[in-house]
C-alpha cells in the first residue's frame, strides 16, 4: 500500500483497521451513513431493474437510491437511463413503472414532454424563453450510464467508472455459464427492514448462521459431513446411516431449501429429485452422495430441456466453474444458484437504520410459457408469515441485531467463514477514501465472491 493510499484510508472515520473486527457504529452513525451517500452510492454500478420489467418500447421503471431517482426506459435503440427530473424546473417525471410510448413523459407542472430517448419533444409557449434556454443540451433529459447483464439493467452515476463487467470480474463467467441472462421472475417480494443496509446483506454472506437460524436445514445435514460439528444441544447422531439414507437426506435437504425459499430449488426440480429416492446407490457413503448429485444434475437438465427451458448442462457447468450457493456482487446485489433456478436479493439503504430488501425467485422458464411477470414487488411487513420460511427466519434476527449494536463495540468475524463481510467493508472504505478507480476495480473483482469466503487481501 502506498503512503498516499494509507493516508487516505486513515482519514476515513470508523474505518476497518483490523480485518476481523467491524466497528459497530458503521451500522448506525448518521455521519458514516452520510459519507456512504456522498462517496459510495454515486460511484458504483447498481442493479436498477430486471429487463423483463420493461419488455416493450416505452416501458420504464423508476429506480431510486437515497435522494436520487433514475428513469430506466426501453427506447427504440435499447435500454437507457436518465435522471428523473424535468429539464425545466426539476419536477420528478416518473413515479414507479409505466409506459411512455404514446405520450412520452409529460411534466405535470408546465407540460414539457420527453420521449423514451430522453429528447424534449414539446415546450409549451416556446416563444417566452430565450433561445439559449431551449437548445437540446439544455432541454433533453440528463443521461445516466446504463449497462446490461444477467437480464438486468445496471446504472452508475459516475462517468469515470470502468465498464460494468470490468467491475464485476470473474463472477460474470461462472454466472453466464448458468444462463443467468435467461432467468425469468417467478415472484418478487419486498420489505422494509429496521436495520442498516449492510447488516441486512450480511445475514446472507455466511453459512455459519444456518445451524441456529435454520434448524430445519441443519437437521437434514448428514451427520459427520459438517466441518463445524454439532450444536451444543443437538441430539446424538444416529448410530448407523446407510448410503440410501444419505441420498434421501440430501433430497429432503434440497426440498427443504426449495420449500423454505419458495424457489432457489424450484418445485419442478424437486419433482425430478423425488424420483431419485429409488436410484441405485454405491455402498460407500461418499460415493453414494456423489452418484446422487451427478444423477440429480443430469435429470434436472434433461427435464428442463424436455419442457423447452433454455437449460445449461448443470454437471458440465459445475465441473468447469467454481460453484457458490450465494454469489455477492458489490455493493448490494445477490444471485443464489442451486441447480438451474436461483433466488436473488437487492438491498437498498433508506436511512442509517432502515433499508428496503427485495427477493426474487428466478427460473429458466420454457419458451412460450404463459405467465404474469410482476411489475412491482409485493410489499409485506418483515415479520409477515407470508414470507417463505427461510427469509422469515433471517429477518427475525436482524432488528434485534441492529438494537444490540448500540451496546456493542465491534463485530468479531471468523476469518474463514465470515470473510466476505470484512472484504466488502474494506472496499466501502476504499470508496470513502476516494481511492483511484483501478485500485477499486481490482478490489471489487476480489470482493465479488460466494458466501463463506475467507478474509482476502483486496489490495489495500
- CB nearer to ligand FES: pick between 91 and 315: 91
- CB nearer to ligand FES: pick between 32 and 112: 112
By CB under 6 A, the count of residues binding ligand FES is 9
- Which string of x and - marks every residue 235-274 that binds ligand FES (by CB under 6 A)? ----------------------------------------
Binding to ligand FES, residues 41-70 (CB under 6 A)? none
Query: With binding defined as CB under 6 A, does residue 371 bind ligand FES?
Result: no
3-class state of residue 110 by DSSP:
coil
Q: For strands 410-412 and 21-23, give the pairing.
A: antiparallel
Nearest to 292 by CA among 242, 365, 232, 327: 242
- CB nearer to ligand FES: pick between 7 and 110: 110
Cell of 189: 417480494
Query: With binding defined as CB under 6 A, does residue 105 bind ligand FES?
Result: no
| Residues 40, 331: Cα–Cα separation, whole Å | 9
348 beta partners:
356
- CB nearer to ligand FES: pick between 68 and 92: 92
- CB nearer to ligand FES: pick between 109 and 408: 109
Work out how close the CB of 110 gets to ligand FES at its nearest, in angstroms, rounded to a whole number.
3
Query: With binding defined as CB under 6 A, does residue 91 bind ligand FES?
Result: yes
Residue 124 burial (10 A CB sphere; 0-12, 13-18, 19+): exposed
| Residues 267, 255: Cα–Cα separation, whole Å | 8
| Residues 456, 270: Cα–Cα separation, whole Å | 36
Work out how close the CB of 129 gets to ligand FES at its nearest, in angstroms, rounded to a whole number.
11
Query: With binding defined as CB under 6 A, does residue 88 bind ligand FES?
Result: yes
Cell of 298: 443430469
CB atoms within 10 A of CB 444: 25
- CB nearer to ligand FES: pick between 129 and 371: 129
Q: Where are the beta strands (DSSP E) in 34-84?
A: 46-50, 59-65, 68-75, 78-83
Among 110, 212, 275, 316, binds ligand FES (CB under 6 A): 110
Among 89, 103, 275, 277, binds ligand FES (CB under 6 A): 89
By the criterion CB under 6 A, which residues form the site for ligand FES? 86, 88-89, 91, 107, 109-112
Amino acid at each position: 500500500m502506498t503512503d498516499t493510499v494509507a493516508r487516505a484510508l486513515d482519514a476515513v472515520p470508523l474505518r476497518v483497521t483490523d480485518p476481523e473486527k467491524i466497528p459497530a457504529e458503521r451500522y448506525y452513525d448518521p455521519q458514516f451513513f452520510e459519507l456512504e451517500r456522498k462517496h459510495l452510492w454515486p460511484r458504483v454500478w447498481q442493479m436498477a431493474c430486471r429487463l423483463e420489467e420493461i419488455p416493450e418500447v416505452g416501458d420504464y421503471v423508476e429506480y431510486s437510491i437515497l435522494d436520487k431517482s433514475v428513469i430506466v426506459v426501453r427506447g427504440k435503440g435499447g435500454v437507457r437511463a436518465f435522471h428523473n427530473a424535468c429539464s425545466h424546473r426539476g419536477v420528478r417525471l416518473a413515479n414507479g413503472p409505466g409506459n411512455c410510448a404514446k405520450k412520452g413523459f409529460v411534466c405535470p407542472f408546465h407540460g414539457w414532454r420527453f420521449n423514451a430517448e430522453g429528447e424534449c419533444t414539446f415546450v409549451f409557449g416556446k416563444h417566452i424563453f430565450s433561445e439559449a434556454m431551449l437548445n437540446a443540451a439544455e432541454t433533453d433529459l440528463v443521461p445516466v450510464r446504463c449497462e446490461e447483464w444477467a437480464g438486468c439493467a445496471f446504472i452508475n452515476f459516475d462517468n469515470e467508472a470502468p465498464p460494468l463487467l470490468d467491475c464485476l470480474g470473474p463472477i460474470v463467467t461462472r454466472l453466464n455459464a448458468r444462463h443467468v441472462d435467461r432467468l425469468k421472475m417467478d415472484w418478487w417480494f419486498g420489505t422494509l427492514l429496521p436495520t442498516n443496509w449492510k447488516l441486512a446483506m450480511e445475514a446472507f454472506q455466511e453459512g455459519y448462521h444456518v445451524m441456529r437460524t435454520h434448524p430445519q436445514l441443519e437437521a437434514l445435514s448428514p451427520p459427520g459431513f459438517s466441518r463445524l460439528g454439532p450444536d451444543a444441544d443437538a441430539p446424538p447422531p444416529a448410530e448407523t446411516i446407510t448410503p440410501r439414507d444419505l441420498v434421501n437426506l440430501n433430497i429432503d435437504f434440497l426440498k427443504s431449501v426449495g420449500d423454505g425459499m419458495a424457489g432457489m430449488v424450484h418445485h419442478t426440480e424437486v419433482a425430478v429429485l423425488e424420483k431419485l429416492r429409488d436410484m441405485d446407490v454405491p455402498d460407500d457413503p461418499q460415493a453414494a452422495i456423489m452418484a446422487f448429485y451427478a444423477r440429480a444434475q443430469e435429470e434436472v437438465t434433461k427435464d428442463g430441456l424436455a419442457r423447452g427451458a433454455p437449460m445449461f448442462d448443470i454437471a458440465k457447468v459445475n465441473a468447469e466453474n467454481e460453484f457458490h450457493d450465494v454469489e455477492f456482487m458489490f455493493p448490494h446485489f445477490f444471485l443464489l444458484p442451486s441447480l438451474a433456478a436461483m433466488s436473488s436479493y437487492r438491498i437498498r439503504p433508506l436511512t442509517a437504520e432502515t433499508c428496503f430488501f427485495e427477493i426474487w425467485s428466478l427460473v429458466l422458464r420454457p419458451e412460450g410459457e404463459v405467465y404474469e411477470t410482476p411489475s412491482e414487488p409485493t410489499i409485506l411487513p418483515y415479520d409477515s408469515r407470508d414470507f417463505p420460511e427461510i427469509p422469515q427466519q433471517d429477518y427475525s434476527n436482524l432488528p434485534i441485531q441492529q438494537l444490540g449494536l448500540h451496546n456493542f463495540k465491534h463485530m468479531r468475524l471468523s476469518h474463514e467463514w465470515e470473510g466476505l463481510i470484512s472484504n466488502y467493508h474494506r472496499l466501502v472504505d476504499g470508496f470513502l477514501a476516494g481511492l483511484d478507480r483501478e485500485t477499486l476495480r481490482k478490489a471489487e473483482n476480489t470482493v465479488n465472491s460466494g458466501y463463506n469466503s475467507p478474509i482476502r487481501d483486496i489490495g489495500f
